[in-house]
Structure 1
Amino acid sequence: MFIKINGITIFYKKSGHGKPLIMLHGNGETHEIFNRSISLLNKYFTVYAIDFRDHGNSSKVSELHYDDHAADIYEFINKFNIKKPVYYGFSDGGIVGLILASQYTDLFSRLIVSGPNINPKGLRAYAKNFMKLKYALTKSQKVEMMLKEPDIPLFNLSKIDIPTNITGGSIDVISRKHLKLIQSSIRNSVLKIFKYHTHSSYIVNSEIIGKYIIEVCNK
């Protein structure tokens, strides 16, 4: 399904029934990475799985910024009058979740983010070097955004007061220290590290994150 937002077209898939759940993917991906988890989640939630601008079936744009992604999702929620959804975001989706939850403190009922960073310093050196090489070869605006953004002040994170779950893999491209910094800056938050998993292995084409979302939302 498609909706016009902020002058562009956003693609989304709606399924299931129950409490609303917004799901956002990572850089260069689409909502389809969640398909296995959605098959579990739509028994408990009305799931809105969205393609970011310039991803999947959503409109292509000339430049990308996390704040634009956040503005799109905020407008999406308002257009459909979605009340107090649970928000789940992976990687870029997690960054956008942190931006939105700190700007609009009553927008979500719960925030769940996997592998987010609040600035590029959160990336491990090998990951950043790989991105620099990739950008030199491709000039991809998606990669450029990850190298230059986001820039979320710790003070902004302190504004988040809804229940928040932060996750990472034990072999994540985001450093454990950075994830702990995010967690320590948000009241009412917990950090879960998935042992033996990478940045994406417990999320992309996996039921693990779906089971985790169900678990934390049913506590």
Structure 2
Amino acid sequence: MPFFEYDGLKVFYRIEGSGKPLLLLHGNTVSSEMFSQDITFFSKNRLVIAIDSPGFGKSDRLSSLRDDFWYYNSQVALFLCQALKLSQIDIIGTSGGSTVALNLTMQKPDLVDHIIADSSPGNCLIQNEVSAIKAGREHSKKTPMADYWKNIHGADWERVIDLDTAMLERVAENNLPLLNGDLSKISGPVLFTGSLRDEAISHIEEKVSKLALQIKKSLVLLFPNGYHPFLISRNKEFRQIAMKFLNDDLF
């Protein structure tokens, strides 16, 4: 299994296929395992790279998650892209991974071609949202979701989830931004996708629109069906849209 070292940590990544690079960035509480079927699908004509963020999946654990979590993980992903000598990469990020994707692109706009930001939480978290997320996670610990978390993270899965929740609480309490940089610096096209019924992100249309208006070339597609994240809940539809966008058939 491939690993790379960043900031003294062993970070796991998957790489499969050949062609133009496509970086997949997972959301909070999960790992690159969420993309198993997507890796198989996209690697038919792309070089697909997916990372387990530090503290998650097969990557080394952390004692706590940084409050600039999404910027930090953009630096982790950027380090790997540079180590692999990649250029003109496309990125699909879902949920928190969409925030990582935007942070990465703001730092290195010349590295990135297309971005798909799925089920984006926008640029802020409010305490009511995080309280709902926390309650949902506590409920999920008593459902088959617990088995999924255990499968991807291992025996310490509950601590992994709790550290992430604690980080979200600090970010909301201190009103910290999720994005670090100037969105207008993004030169490539950005597609925002999501569900209007997203149970994890309140007023998703307002949050996503605020981001899209700051980007030179952006498109927002929000659907009346699905749940969080749209990429998983409406996977077939998402893939069709993604392929068209990545092949410049939407703009």
TM-score w.r.t. structure 1 length?
0.88
SS in 2 for 1:145: helix
Which residue pairs with 2:13 in the alignment?
12
Task: Choose from 149, 158, 166 the match for 1:144.
Answer: 166
Of 177, 185, 197 in structure 2, the residue corresponding to residue 159 of structure 1 is 185
Whole-Å Cα distance in 1 between the matches of residues 221 and 23 of structure 2? 20
> Is structure 2 residue 98 aligned with structure 1 residue 94?
yes
Higher gyration radius (CA): 2
Q: Distance in 1 between matches of 2:233 and 2:10?
A: 24
What 5-or-longer segments of structure 2 have no aligned partner?
Answer: 140-157
Q: Which letter maps to 1:113?
A: A
Q: Contact conserved, 2:70 with 2:179, CA < 8 A, in 1?
A: no
Change (3 A) 1:201 1:160: closer
Paired residue for 2:143?
none
Q: Relative to structure 1, is the Cα distance of residues 167 and 205 closer, same or farther in structure 2, using a 3 angstrom cutoff? A: closer
What residue number does 1:196 align with?
A: 225
- Kept in 1, the 8 Å contact 2:115–2:191? The answer is yes
Structure 1 unmatched ranges of 5 or more: none
CA distance change for structure 1 residues 153 and 207 in 2, over 3 Å: closer, same or farther?
A: closer
Which runs of structure 1 show a deviation greater than 6 angstroms over 4 or more consecutive aligned residues? 134-139
Structure (1 or 2) with the greater strand fraction: 1
The two structures, once aligned, show a CA RMSD in angstroms of 2.5
Paired residues of 1:37 and 1:211 also in contact (CA < 8 A): no
The equivalences for 1:1-219 within 5 A come to 1-64=2-65, 65-116=69-120, 117-121=122-126, 125=128, 127-133=129-135, 140-149=162-171, 151-152=177-178, 156-172=182-198, 173-174=200-201, 175=203, 176-203=205-232, 206-218=235-247, 219=249
Q: Does 112-121 or 163-172 show the bigger shift?
A: 112-121
Q: Is the 8 A contact 1:86 1:109 kept in 2?
A: yes
The structure-2 alpha-carbon separation of the partners of 1:200 and 1:153, relative to structure 1 and needing over 3 Å to count, comes to closer
Rounded to whole Å, the distance in 1 between the matches of 2:179 and 2:231 is: 28
Percent of paired sites with the same residue: 24
